Amino acid sequence: TTNRTFTMIKPDAVGNGHIGSILNDILAAGFRIVALKYTRLTKETAGAFYAVHKERPFYKDLVDFMSSGPIVAAILEKENAVEDFRKLIGATDPAKAEPGTIRNKYAQSIEANAVHGSDSNENAAIEGSFFFSALEQH
């Protein structure tokens, strides 16, 4: 079944000039861009987006990093989108990401790992709605 996932190109990849290459890889893998936005998170909005990780030791650093520069947010559509997108981006730790994956090619560290990808259909809907109104999710 066709479904949707949500992604962010994180501040490291935006700062390193990888927006175009990453969007190209996403399109080449067969995803359709449903919604797309160049924006910036504050500490407050980054903290809210990652609230599920609030008790984790890396939460404060993650929030500081994600609010350190502009990001690109997008909703993507494809057959089996959530699972296929996680394959395309590779492991959270780029040192463990398979060759050819987005994190293998563009990420530096487990924190500055170039892209986010939703881990379930339910979270994809929640995360997409964090950035895009219903009217923008056509």
Question: With respect to ligand CMP, which residue has the nearer C-beta, 54 or 138?
Answer: 54
Catalytic residue among 18, 53, 116, 138: 116
The letter for the amino acid at 102 is: I
Please check if 10 is assigned to a binding site. yes
- Is 138 an active-site residue? no
Q: Does residue number 58 form part of the binding site for ligand CMP (CB under 6 A)?
A: yes
Structure tokens, 124: 């994809």
94 burial class (0-12, 13-18, 19+ CB within 10 angstroms)? buried
Q: Does residue number 81 form part of the binding site for ligand CMP (CB under 6 A)?
A: no
4, 90, 116, 124: which one binds ligand CMP (CB under 6 A): 116
Distance of closest approach, residue 138 Cβ to ligand CMP, in angstroms: 25
Which x/- pattern, by CB under 6 A, does the window 35-54 give for ligand CMP?
------------------x-
Which part of the chain contacts ligand CMP (CB under 6 A), choosing from 17-25, 31-39, 40-48, 107-115? 107-115
Work out whether strand 2-9 and strand 32-40 pair parallel, antiparallel, or are unpaired: unpaired
Please check if 4 is assigned to a binding site. no
Distance of closest approach, residue 7 Cβ to ligand CMP, in angstroms: 9
Instruction: Please name the residue that has the structure tokens 């989108």.
Output: 81
Torsion angle, alpha carbons of 72, 129, 53, 65, to 10: 20
Q: Which are the contacts of 119, defined by CB distance < 8 A and separation ≥ 6? A: 82, 86
Question: With respect to ligand CMP, which residue has the nearer C-beta, 85 or 138?
Answer: 85
Instruction: Please name the residue that has the structure tokens 């996403």.
Output: 26
